[in-house]
Amino acid sequence: MTSPEGFPLLAAKDYEAPSLFEPANLLREARRQKGLSSLAVPEVCMLDPDGDVVRHLAESGRGTRHAGWACYHTEMWSVDLDGIEVGVVGMAVGGSFAVLVAEQLAASGCELLVSVTSAGQITPLGATPYVVLIDRALRDEGTSAHYVPPARWSRVDDGLVKGLDGAFDHLPEPVLTGSSWTTDAPYRETASAIAAAEHEGIACVEMEAASLYAYATASGARVVCLAHITNTMATAGDDFEKGLDNGVHDALAVVRAVAAALR
């Protein structure tokens, strides 16, 4: 077996050094190749890993496709949420993809990023479905190791949490604060790993928060991660039910509440 010291992910990294490959450079070339104008994205953007929100915006006509989003891999749909414009990017599943998009969003004008992902319940906080405001995420993935030194948790900025005090009180679906386990191997959620997470009181398992919070810590970006608790990893019947229109309206209401509190 190879020793941990020989594993590249654990090798010493220069966390203060800038990257030679910058998102602004990639976006510049994408705009040139696609003939896009340099149009800033909305100040508030949402990551929609499941894609339910972007599909709804496209199919219902409620949203408009953003003409200046220059990402090679995704599309952005803009929607007005009671006077707050939000740019929504779907299908950015997993920490590495989420951070790739987050870096490009920041380079394109995004000042507040809100991620709303589906998650599996570990330690029940209530009857599903409900939303968890993730205050810390177990770093059981690889992307965070490239942004911040080794540690057990990635954490949301305390100032953002304070700014959200009372922000969700008016919503019909409860928003509860809790921790998550971020994995980049969802089909390796073994019984022993789940038991260990439950022993620590971890509320849910998802795939992006630890990476996004590490990126935010390293860059100073403003990022809030929420998890829509809809399932128990398909270990029980009737899992993955999000509600009306696959939970789109609840997700947008949560994003609107975050944006209103933190803009």
Does 93 map to a domain?
A: yes
Q: What is the pLDDT of residue 237?
A: 54
- Mean pLDDT, residues 145-158: 97
- Mean pLDDT, residues 20-29: 96
Three-class SS of 37-61: CCCCCCCEEEEECCCHHHHHHHHHC
* CA 263/CA 261 separation, integer angstroms: 6
- Give residue 205's pLDDT band: very low, low, confident or very high (50, 70, 90): very high
* Domain coverage including residue 198: 39-262
Q: What is the pLDDT of residue 138?
A: 98
Q: What is the pLDDT of residues 238-260, one digit of tens each?
A: 555 666 567 899 999 999 999 99
Q: What is the pLDDT of residue 238?
A: 58
Q: What is the pLDDT of residue 245?
A: 61
Does 17 map to a domain?
A: no
Q: Is residue 164 a contact partner of residue 186, using CB atoms and an 8 Å limit?
A: no
Q: Mark 171-188 as b/e (b = at least 16 C-beta within 10 Å).
A: eebebeebbbbbbbeeee
pLDDT over 60 at 235, yes or no: no
Does 1 map to a domain?
A: no
Q: What is the pLDDT of residue 263?
A: 87
Does 90 map to a domain?
A: yes
The CATH code of the domain that includes 218 is: 3.40.50.1580
Q: What is the pLDDT of residue 1?
A: 43
- Give residue 209's pLDDT band: very low, low, confident or very high (50, 70, 90): very high
Calculate the alpha carbon distances from 132 to 66, 71, 160 in Å.
Answer: 29, 29, 15
Q: What is the pLDDT of residues 53-109, one digit of tens each?
A: 999 999 999 999 999 999 999 999 999 999 999 999 999 999 999 999 999 999 999
Q: What is the pLDDT of residue 233?
A: 54
- Mean pLDDT, residues 29-45: 96
pLDDT over 50 at 219, yes or no: yes
CB atoms closer than 10 angstroms to residue 26: 17
Q: What is the pLDDT of residue 114?
A: 98
* CA 12/CA 203 separation, integer angstroms: 31
Does 33 map to a domain?
A: no
Residues 6+ apart with CB under 8 A from 104: 23, 26, 27, 70, 71
Does 116 map to a domain?
A: yes
- Mean pLDDT, residues 135-156: 97
Q: What is the pLDDT of residue 14?
A: 95
Instruction: Say which residue, 204 or 4, is predicted with more confidence.
Output: 204
Number of domains, the chain: 1
Does 14 map to a domain?
A: no
pLDDT over 70 at 236, yes or no: no
pLDDT over 60 at 234, yes or no: no
Q: Quick one: which of 142, 149, 148, 122 has its CA closest to 134?
A: 122
pLDDT over 80 at 171, yes or no: yes
Mean pLDDT of the chain: 93
Instruction: Say which residue, 165 or 239, is predicted with more confidence.
Output: 165
Does 19 map to a domain?
A: no
For 62, the token pair is 């409620």
* CA 177/CA 202 separation, integer angstroms: 11
pLDDT over 70 at 210, yes or no: yes
Q: Is residue 205 a contact partner of residue 199, using CB atoms and an 8 Å limit?
A: no
Q: What is the pLDDT of residue 81?
A: 98
Give the pairing type, strands 84-90 and 76-81.
Answer: antiparallel
Q: What is the pLDDT of residue 3?
A: 52
